[in-house]
Amino acid sequence: MSWLGIPYPLSETTFLDSGILSVSKVPEISVNTGFGWDNVVGTILAAFVGALIPALIAFYSIRKNDIYSEKLRLQQKEDLEATINTQLKVSTLSFNAQVLSNNRQGWINNVRDLTSDFISLCEDFISTRYFYYKAFRRLDRFSAQDEATRMYRDRTYEIKREIIKVKTNIELMLNPNELTSRAIFVAMNRIVNVINEDDFKHTLFRKHGESWKIYDKTKLAYIKTMKRCLKTEWKRVKNGE
């Protein structure tokens, strides 16, 4: 087929038939979708959730720590109060035990001394009464009798008053509800009664007279009972009671 001239192509071969494409630059594609509120809300929501979760975790941890710290503080307070109360009770008991022990030891010493005084005065009373009776019998009734016997008579009364005084002090220091104390009271009363018997006016020798035998027996029973009483109290001192 002959060429028809301009503007007809010389050949009927097309661009696609030749397969040659010349591109001067990479084309740009622009897509306009308008303003995206969903993206903004999503971004804000994601940021809020991202900040909220650590905040909640931190708040939970702080709250748990506060609760634990409060429980620990209360527990420590209770332990401290319990320790203080225990120490106070121990100190009080220790102080009371020390004071009671000292007082009880002083009581033991006093009762022991009074017991010795009681026996000593009883022996002195027996001797003075004997000498008073002998002086009364030996001297002339109408001469020096009054002057000679007055000394022994006054001394006898004085000793008797001392015996009653010491006996009363011992009774006041003992517990009348205890069997040992009641046994001591009975022994002291019997001793006081027996040394006033007439047998003691005639002799100082224990082998003579029924009153001497009763006195010796009662005195030994009294001393034995008093030793048992003092031993019991000494054990309490030793144990810190």
Torsion of Cα atoms, 176 then 179 then 182 then 186, to 10°: 180
| CA distances to 58, 70, 71, 78, 169 from 64, in Å | 10, 10, 11, 21, 72
Query: Which residue in the block uniquely carries the two structure tokens 């809300």?
Result: 41
Fold classification of 81-239 (topology level): Four Helix Bundle (Hemerythrin (Met), subunit A) (1.20.120)
Give the pLDDT confidence of 157-213 residue by residue, as tens digits.
899 999 999 999 999 999 999 999 999 999 999 999 988 876 666 555 555 667 788
Which of 192, 186, 175, 173 minimizes the C-alpha distance to 225?
186
State the Cα–Cα distance between residues 45 and 63, nearest whole angstrom: 26
Query: What local confidence, expressed as pLDDT, does residue 11 receive?
Result: 59
- Residue 4 reports pLDDT greater than 80: no
- Quick check: pTM over 0.95? no
Give the pLDDT confidence of 87-111 residue by residue, as tens digits.
777 776 676 666 667 778 888 899 9
Longest Cα pair distance anywhere in the chain, in angstroms? 211
Residue pair 168/196 in contact by the 8 Å Cβ criterion: no
Query: Which residue in the block uniquely carries the two structure tokens 């022996």?
Result: 123
Query: What local confidence, expressed as pLDDT, does residue 183 receive?
Result: 94
Coil, strand, or helix at residue 44?
Answer: helix
Each domain of the chain, given as residue ranges in start order, spans: 81-239
Query: What local confidence, expressed as pLDDT, does residue 30 receive?
Result: 58
Query: What local confidence, expressed as pLDDT, does residue 75 receive?
Result: 83
Residue pair 171/185 in contact by the 8 Å Cβ criterion: yes
Whether the bond into 7 is cis, omega within 30 of 0: yes
Question: Higher confidence at residue 33 or residue 123?
Answer: 123
Give the pLDDT confidence of 109-140 residue by residue, as tens digits.
999 999 999 999 998 998 888 777 776 666 65
Query: What local confidence, expressed as pLDDT, does residue 199 receive?
Result: 61
* CA-CA-CA-CA torsion sign (128, 133, 138, 140): positive
**Residue 48 C-alpha from the chain's centroid:** 62
State the Cα–Cα distance between residues 226 and 171, nearest whole angstrom: 12
